[in-house]
Structure 1
Amino acid sequence: MTTFDVLLRGGQVVDTDGIRHLDLALRNGKITARLTPNEPAEAAHIVRVGGRFLLPGLVDAHVHLREPGMTWKEDFASGTQAAIAGGVTTVLVMPTDEPWTVSAADFKAKRALAEGRIFCDVGLQVAVGRDRSELAELANLGATSFEIFTSDVPPDFLHASTADLQAAVEAVRAAGGMVAISPGDQSVLDAELARLTAGRSTAADFVRSRPGHAEAQGIARAILAAATAGAPVHIRQSNSRQGMAAYRRLRDLADVSIETSPQCLMFTASDYERLGPAAKASPPWRDAADREAVRAAVADGVIDIIVTDHAPHLMAEKLAQAEDFAAVPGGFPGVQTLLATLLMLVDDGLIGLSDLVRLAASRPAERFGLGSHKGRLQVGFDADVLVLDPDRPTVIRGSDQLSKAGYTPFEGLSTSFSLERVFLRGQEVPMHKMSGKTGFAGMAQGLVVMAER
Structure 2
Amino acid sequence: MTERMTDPGSDTFVVGGGRLVLPERVVDADLWVEDGRIVDVIPRGHRPELPRVPADGLVVMAGMIDTHVHLRDPGHPHRETFASGTRAAARGGVTTVLEMPSGIPAVSDAESWQGKNEIVARKAVVDYGLYGGAGLSNLDRIGEQADAGAVAFKSFMNAPAPTADPGMSSRCLPDDAVFLEAMRRVAATGRVAVVHAENDAICTHLTHRLRAQGRDDLRAHAESRPVVAEEEAVSRAILLAHRAGVRLSIAHVSSAAAVDAIRRAKRNGHDVTAEVCPHHLLRSLDDAEELGPYAKVNPPLRDDEDRAALWLGLRDGTLDFIGTDHAPYSEAEKDRGWESIWDAPPGIHGLEAVLSVLLTEAHDGRFTLPELTRIVSLNAARRFGLGGRKGELRAGADADFVLVDPDAPGVLDRRSMESVSRDAARFWDGRRTVGCVLTTFVRGTRVADRGVVVGNEGFGRLVRPERAE
- TM exceeds 0.5? yes
Q: Which amino acid aligns with 1:208?
A: E
Task: Give runs of aligned pairs for residues 10-21 of structure 1, distance below 5 A.
Answer: 10-21=17-28
Alignment correspondent of 1:449: 463
Cα distance in 1, alignment partners of residues 454 and 46 from structure 2: 33
- The 1:32–1:163 alpha-carbon spacing in structure 2 relative to 1, beyond 3 Å, is same
1:242 to 257, 261, 266: 257
Mean Cα displacement is larger for which, 152-161 or 340-349? Answer: 152-161
**Residues 356 and 434 in structure 2, CA contact (< 8 A), matched pair in contact too:** no
| Equivalence for 1:221 | 236
What are the superposed Cα offsets for residues 247-303 of structure 1, whole Å, 9 maximum, x if unpaired? Answer: 222223311100111110111111343211111111101111111111221222221
- Cα displacement (A) at 1:124: 0.2
- Decide whether the 8 Å contact of 2:359 with 2:406 is kept in 1: no
| TM-fit CA distance, 1:358 | 0.6
Q: For residue 416 of structure 1, what is the aligned residue in structure 2?
A: 434
Counterpart position of 1:179: 193
Quickly say closer, same or farther: Cα 1:359–1:153, change in 2 above 3 A.
farther
Matching of residues 294-333 of structure 1 within 5 Å: 294-333=310-349
- Asked whether the equivalents of residues 132 and 146 of structure 2 are also in contact (C-alpha less than 8 Å), the reply is no
Deviation, 1:227, is 1.7
* Distance verdict in 2 for CA 1:150–1:441, change over 3 Å: closer
Aligned equivalents of 1:293, 1:324: Cα separation in 2: 31
AA in 2 matched with 1:419: V
Between the aligned partners of 1:432 and 1:186, the Cα distance in structure 2 is 44
Percent identity among equivalent residues?
A: 33
Q: Which residue pairs with 1:164 in the alignment? A: 178
Look up the match of 2:140: 133
- The CA distance in 2 between the partners of 1:270 and 1:196, in whole Å, is 19
Q: Which range moved further: 418-427 or 305-314? A: 418-427
- Aligned mates of 1:249, 1:310 — CA distance in 2: 29
SS at match of 2:258: helix
Q: Would the alpha carbon gap of residues 358 and 142 (structure 1) be closer, same or farther in structure 2, given more than 3 Å must change?
A: same
- Given that 1:299 and 1:350 are in contact with CA atoms closer than 8 Å, whether structure 2 keeps it comes out as no
Deviations 1:174-198, CA, capped at 9 Å, x for gaps: 1232211111101101211221336
Query: 1:432–1:440: 8 Å Cα contact kept in structure 2?
Result: no
Say which is worse superposed, 75-84 or 441-450, in terms of deviation.
Answer: 441-450
CA distance in 2, matches of 1:230, 1:65: 31
AA partner of residue 125 (structure 1): Y
| 1:88-99 equivalent positions in 2, closer than 5 A | 88-99=94-105
1:432 positional shift: 5.7
Q: Does 1:78 align with 2:84?
A: yes
Cα distance in 2 for partners of 1:152, 1:307 equals 24
Q: Quick check: 1:278–1:318 contact (8 Å CA) kept in 2?
A: yes
1:348, CA displacement in angstroms?
2.9
The separation in 2 between residues aligned to 1:282 and 1:448, in whole angstroms, is: 28
Q: Distance in 2 between matches of 1:14 and 1:275?
A: 36
Distance 2:36 2:151 in 1: 22
How far apart, CA to CA, are the structure 2 residues paired with 1:335 and 1:368? 19
Match of 2:267 in 1: 252
Shift of 1:440: 3.1
Distance 1:421 1:230, change over 3 A: same
1:335 Cα shift? 0.9
The residue matched to 2:352 in structure 1 has which SS? helix
Contact 2:413 2:430 in 1 (8 A): yes
Taking a change above 3 Å as real, the CA distance of residues 37 and 228 of structure 1, as seen in their structure-2 partners, is same
In 2, Cα distance between equivalents of 1:441 and 1:388:
18
Name structure 1 gaps, 5 residues minimum. Answer: none
Between the aligned partners of 1:388 and 1:97, the Cα distance in structure 2 is 34
Q: CA distance change for structure 1 residues 442 and 231 in 2, over 3 Å: closer, same or farther?
A: closer
* Contact 1:29-1:383 within 8 A present in 2 as well: yes
1:136 shift after superposition: 2.0
Q: Which residue of 2 aligns with 1:387?
A: 403
Residue number in structure 1 paired with 2:115: 109
Task: Flag as ranges the 4+ runs of structure 1 deviating above 4 A.
Answer: 441-444
**Which residue, out of 50, 61, 68, partners 2:67?**
61
| Mapped partners of 2:192, 2:271: distance in 1 | 11
| Superposition deviation, residue 70 in structure 1 | 0.9
Contact 1:334–1:408 at 8 Å: present in 2 too? no
User: For residue 277 of structure 2, what is the aligned residue in structure 1?
Assistant: 261
AA matched with 1:72: H
For structure 2, the residue ranges without an aligned partner over 5 or more in a row are: 1-9, 162-167
TM norm structure 1? 0.94
Deviation at 1:320, TM superposition (A): 2.3
Coordinate RMSD, CA, aligned: 1.8
Q: Give the C-alpha shift of residue 54 in structure 1.
A: 0.7
